[in-house]
Structures are given as C-alpha cells and as structure tokens.
Amino acid sequence: MIRATLLAVTVLALSAQTLPKPPVPTEDATIERFRAHAKPRKVAPAAALSAEERNTIRRFKEAKPSVVFVSAVAPVRDLRTMDETKIPTARGTGFVWDEWGHVVTNHHIITVEDGGKRLGDVSEVEVTLSDGKTYKGRVIGTSFAYDIAVLQVFAPLDAMPPIPLGRSKTLQVGQTVLAIGNPFGLDHSLSRGVVSGVKDRGIDTGYNTHILNAIQTDAAVNPGNSGGPLLDSGGRLVGMNTAIMATKGEGSVGVGFAIPVDTLNQIVPQLIARERLVSRRMGFDVLGAAAALQKFGLTRGLLVIKVDPDTPAGRAGLRALELDERGTVKAPGDILLGYQGRVIENEGQFMAMLELEPPADEVVFDVQRGDQVIKVVLHLNKKGEGSPEEKVRKPVIPAV
C-alpha cells in the first residue's frame, strides 16, 4: 500500500511539470483591465436623519440670517498723495440684537493694536449679512470691562432679524450648545458641543478685568468666532463666544468661553442708550498711551490734553497740555498715574475701572505735575466749593 501511494505522487508531479504556466498579468495590464469598469457608483439609500440632527439643521437655518461678518476698518493716508484709504484691521463675528439694526460683537474686534500695544478703536466697520451684501456700520457703544461693542448697521431692517434671547443662569453642564461664526474667515460655520462648565469660570480681558460667570464649552471656537452667538438647542442666544484656552504654538485646544447672555442683556441696552457705562462726567480728556509715547515719549500714565471749565476736573485745577501754533509744548499737562489708589496702565484699563466701580462723589487721582506726584481730588456732585488750590493736596511721592 505504501509503495503504490508513492508512485501515484510521483506521476502527479511529473504531469504538473509538463503543463504550461498561465501568464502573470503585469501592473499596466491590471490597470487597463480595471479601467473598463469605470462608471458612477450606485448611491446607497439614505438613512433618516435623527431628531437631534434635524433640530441642529433647523436651528442653524433659523439663526443664520441673524449672524453677520464684522470687519473693522481704519483710515490710512498716503503721505505722498494725501489720499485716504481704508484697510481692515480685524475681523470677527456679530449678531443682530434688536429690530433697530443694532449688532453686538466683542470690543477687541474693533481695537487697533500694533506690536501688542493698543492704539485705539475704529469708529467704522463693514458688516456683511448672510446674503453676502456688505453695509457700513458705526461703533455706537463700547465697554472695556465686559469686552462688548455695539454697532449701528445701515442696512435694510427687514434683512436683519434679531436673534432670540435665552437665559444663561439656567444652563447646565452637559447641555447641548451651538456656536456660529466666521473662523479664519470661513463665514457662517457651525460647531456643536456641550456646556463644559459654568461655575467659577471667568474671562480675563486685556484691561485687567475679569468677566464673571463665563460659559465654558467644547464647541469648536477659533480666531474669527469672537463676537458670534452661542445658542442652546432651542436656537436661543445664551452667550457670546469671546475667548479660547490656548497653549503656546497650538492654538485652540477645545476649551472656549462665552460671555453669558444675562450679562449682555444688562450691558447692551445701556451702551445703546448712552454709549458707555460710565455716566458720571469728570470733565477732562486724555491722550492714549500709545499716542503719548509716540508724540511725547511718555512711558506711563495718561496725558491730560483737555480740561473743561466748570466741571469737577476744572474746579479741581487739573491742568491740560498746551501747544502753540507750531505744535510746540507751551505748558506740559498733568499725567494721571493712579486712580483711587490703583495704578493706571492705559486708557482702556482706566475706563474698565470706572465701569466696574462707578465713580463716587469724591475721587482721587495720583498726578504727575512737573517733577512731583501730587493727589488731585475731584468732587463730582458739588459745584463751586473752594478754590482749585484747595482740591490739590500736597506732594506725597517724588516722580520717578
């Protein structure tokens, strides 16, 4: 039995050696063979959208007409031809607040900076609606402390439906939120996430203020989303996207923060009504820190450039800068170094202090006058009390 088996195996092996081998197709032949099968593929049947997906799509479509693209523009003059052109300085997002053409966005979008130094705010913006049409807008109200700006947009009112308002106080961790904005200039982009935190969250502004009760979310927020709406699953505004947590060189890491709508609903009407939160008038104007550095080499404080008579500043004897016809300094103005015992770093930070703590009946400035630092007291509610000299206290600190 064993011998027969071996013989059979040998015969089979000899037969296999005599059979011709099939040709091995080359790569080119394979490619050409499969090209013949090129045709559009059959589309697989679509699954029904989930209720959650349908709601997200609906809320985006409803909110889109209320979300705008904001481009801050600043005038630049050609020194050779003296022609003036306007260039964009910053871009972001905004949303329609009410039926009167008011748009809310972040204050930092309208801020002009150079090398990290604040140069000032623009007064004009260009606002592009969801239909792609662009209209002129003007800044009519700003808050440094809360990083809020209000724009009046000169567009047809029926093209600017206001966004529905919700409440931020009742938000819960885990609740679905939608963020709409223009990240990196990609208009009307939607991201979806949840409320990640509401307790002990805050946003630090560039003016040493801290916006309380901020909403933390993992909805993707990137540069260009600033000023855009954060919506709940019902399509109501619950916050304004404002900041991201970022690590050096990595950009967004999935932690975003929004100013709560309850704060917006308190601040925005005041800005629309009277431009700023500070209603108490002191009666003086200052030159911004960047301009004062450029023109006069001032490295700290705010330079007083105007004092109105019969105002708290005028009655207190605050002194303004005086220039002759050629722009030469005739009399140096007072330099405001401190307010109510705190150092004044720049005009934005000073305004933020006034917003967070409205001036009392009596306020005290640390003022550099000449080579000395003195205290100047302004009485905001009293008129005609004593002479200006009585409002100026004796020097307390030598100037440095």
DSSP string, 58-72: HHHHHHGGGEEEEEE
In a domain, 55, yes or no: no
Q: Are residues 240 and 200 both part of a single domain?
A: yes
Of 243, 270, 297, the one marking the end of a domain is 270
DSSP string for residues in 176-245: EEEEEE-GGG-TTEEEEEEEEE-TT--EE-TTS-EE-SPEEE-S---TT-TT-EEEETTS-EEEEEEEEE
In a domain, 137, yes or no: yes
Residue with tokens 């009655």: 315
102, 107, 108, 189: which is the annotated catalytic residue? 108
**Cα-flanking dihedrals φ and ψ of residue 70, to 5°?**
-110, 130
Q: How far apart are CA 132 and CA 208, in angstroms?
A: 37
Degrees (nearest 5) of the Cα angle 207, 210, 216? 125
Q: How far apart are CA 378 and CA 316, in angstroms?
A: 6
**Contacts of residue 5, Cβ cutoff 8 Å, sequence gap at least 6:** none
Closest CA to 221 of 198, 240, 200: 240
Residue with tokens 């917003």: 355
121, 147, 232, 262: which is the annotated catalytic residue? 147
In a domain, 350, yes or no: yes
Report how many domains make up the chain. 3
In a domain, 19, yes or no: no
Specify whether 226 is catalytic: yes
The β-bridge partners of 137 are 125, 153
Q: Are residues 237 and 291 both part of a single domain?
A: no
Q: Are residues 302 and 236 both part of a single domain?
A: no
In a domain, 121, yes or no: yes
pLDDT in the model for residue 19: 65
- Say what the alpha-carbon torsion angle 251, 256, 261, 265 is, to the nearest 10 degrees: -30
Q: Are residues 246 and 291 both part of a single domain?
A: no
pLDDT in the model for residue 193: 96
pLDDT in the model for residue 99: 97
- pTM comes to 0.78
Specify whether 147 is catalytic: yes
Domain containing residue 215: CATH number: 2.40.10.10
User: Can you give the residue range of the structural domain that contains 256?
Assistant: 176-270
**Contacts of residue 237, Cβ cutoff 8 Å, sequence gap at least 6:** 95, 163, 164, 165, 166, 229, 230, 231, 261, 264
66, 143, 196, 226: which is the annotated catalytic residue? 226
What's the token pair of residue 116? 């990290």
Of 270, 296, 323, the one marking the end of a domain is 270
Closest CA to 95 of 161, 6, 16: 161
Q: Are residues 235 and 305 both part of a single domain?
A: no
Which residue stretches of 68-195 are H helix? none
Q: Are residues 345 and 384 both part of a single domain?
A: yes
In a domain, 240, yes or no: yes
Three-state DSSP at 84 gives strand
pLDDT in the model for residue 391: 41
pLDDT in the model for residue 82: 61
* Cα distances (angstroms) measured from residue 338 to each of 53, 269, 331, 359, 366: 55, 30, 21, 14, 5
Degrees (nearest 5) of the Cα angle 217, 207, 166? 35
Q: Are residues 391 and 301 both part of a single domain?
A: yes
Q: How far apart are CA 247 and CA 190, in angstroms?
A: 23
In a domain, 139, yes or no: yes
Q: How far apart are CA 238 and CA 94, in angstroms?
A: 14
Domain containing residue 362: CATH number: 2.30.42.10
In a domain, 25, yes or no: no
What's the token pair of residue 353? 């202090």
**Cα-flanking dihedrals φ and ψ of residue 383, to 5°?**
-120, 140
Q: Are residues 149 and 204 both part of a single domain?
A: no
Q: Are residues 224 and 127 both part of a single domain?
A: no
Of 270, 293, 323, the one marking the end of a domain is 270
| CA pseudo-torsion sign 55, 61, 65, 68 | positive
Over the chain (400 residues), the average pLDDT of each successive run of 10 is 50 56 79 92 94 97 97 74 70 96 95 69 91 96 94 97 96 97 94 94 84 92 94 97 76 84 96 88 83 78 92 93 81 91 88 85 92 92 48 36
Closest CA to 362 of 255, 273, 280, 253: 280
